[in-house]
Amino acid sequence: MDDVEHRNPIELFKSWFEDAKRSEPINPEAMTLASATPDGRPSARMVLLKDASDRGFVFYTNFESRKGQELLGNPRAALLFYWKSLGRQVRVVGRVERVGDEEADAYFSSRDRGAQIGAWASDQSRPLAGRFELERRVARYAARFGLSRVPRPPHWSGFRIVPEEIEFWREGRFRLHDRLVYTRGEGGWRTERLFP
């Protein structure tokens, strides 16, 4: 990683992400999201990256879900991308903010209609009596909206992880991996190499 030490970490991430889209067979945009309750009880799950820019890393969810409630109550999070085909991972740590309504509406309108209906039908993370209950709710919302546009539910939107630290890891022989961490300060990003 000698050539990356003075690059913008978001640009480096985008370059690695493009490599992953060419080589990773399934969901190169999959990332582990780690959150915690206000008292520090952690949880992690996979979500899908929908945007990466200098503003941060964006994903969408139901705000009433476990992750939504944790992020609203404790707006700090970590992300982890792991691309096995490349022997690379990227770790992101930062603060959490909600995306604006206009941005959320634009993304929601780009989703498949079935996914839009699903956002209304699913009480994400809450107990489900059986699959039939979910199918019945999907049918109810499909009938409600008919052929009309499906609006974004008020409880469904996006979060942006605004990075304060981004670590790039590349697998090395004999477990002598390359690790380069970017830390955001008042003057911009500073880089530091870490022992593997």
The catalytic residues are 175
Torsion of CA 9, 13, 15, 18, to 10 degrees: -170
Residue of 40, 36, 21 lying closest to 81 (CA atoms): 21
Query: What is the C-alpha separation between 58 and 56, in angstroms, rounded?
Result: 7
Alpha carbons 18 and 25: distance in angstroms, whole number: 13
Burial of 159 (0-12, 13-18, 19+ CB in 10 A): buried
| Residue 54 Cα distances to 12, 48, 51, angstroms | 11, 18, 10
